[in-house]
Amino acid sequence: MKIVIVDDDCLVTGALKTILEVNEDVDVVATGLDGRDAVRLYGEHKPDVLLMDIRMVPGMTVEEILEQAGKSGSEIEKISNGKFEYSVKICNNRGAIEIPENHSLVERFRRELRRDGYEPKNIGINYFTDASIFRKVNPIVPVLLFGPGDPTLAHQPNECVNLEFYEDAIKILKRVFWTEE
């Protein structure tokens, strides 16, 4: 069975490849990092299975991705004269956590970070966060992930936080949430 794996986290991709290829009937023929890679690699390799983390597609909802995938799958089914079967299975549907860059909460954090000499950075994270669970309870509450940790160490053995950054983060949080505008 030919498989293509697409995930923006290389550690996840590598681990899945290693686990899947224990079965001698499985051949991971390619790996990719994003939706564009998925389309390209699918066209190049025509795998039996495309395993893809769909949370990594910025600006698209799960529904839009499934609609696009359905159109592609239907087209391939037609031209293959029934030799190709198409199906999608969502194993874990957690929406992306996003907040507009111009949201007042983001602006307050930027102001307070600069006040302490930090240059604010808007970054994405490619690991699981509980925020996606909270979002299911109340989807309209804005969620901004902020903390003193190094994102490259998140969920790694010996994950640690610099105590100076930790203390600074507490001060910033106090000013953002307990200071009148």
pLDDT value at residue 12: 84
CA distance 53 to 91: 10
Here the tokens at position 15 are 């681990």
CA distance 63 to 6: 18
CA distance 9 to 33: 7
Angle in degrees, 0-180, between the axes of helices 163-178 and 104-115, rounded to the nearest 10: 130
pTM, to two decimals: 0.53
Q: Give the pLDDT confidence of 130-143 residue by residue, as tens digits.
A: 777 777 777 788 88
Residue for token digits 């051949």? 27
C-alpha pair distances (Å), 52 with each of 39, 76, 112, 126, 156: 11, 18, 38, 14, 22
Q: Please name the residue ranges forming H helices in 1-157.
A: 10-20, 35-45, 62-79, 104-115, 131-137
Confidence check: pLDDT of 92 > 70? no
Q: Give the pLDDT confidence of 5-59 residue by residue, as tens digits.
A: 988 778 888 889 999 999 999 999 999 887 778 778 888 888 888 888 766 555 5
Q: By the 8 A CB rule, do 42 and 48 touch?
A: no
pLDDT value at residue 119: 92
pLDDT value at residue 111: 94
Q: What percent of the chain has pLDDT over 90?
A: 27
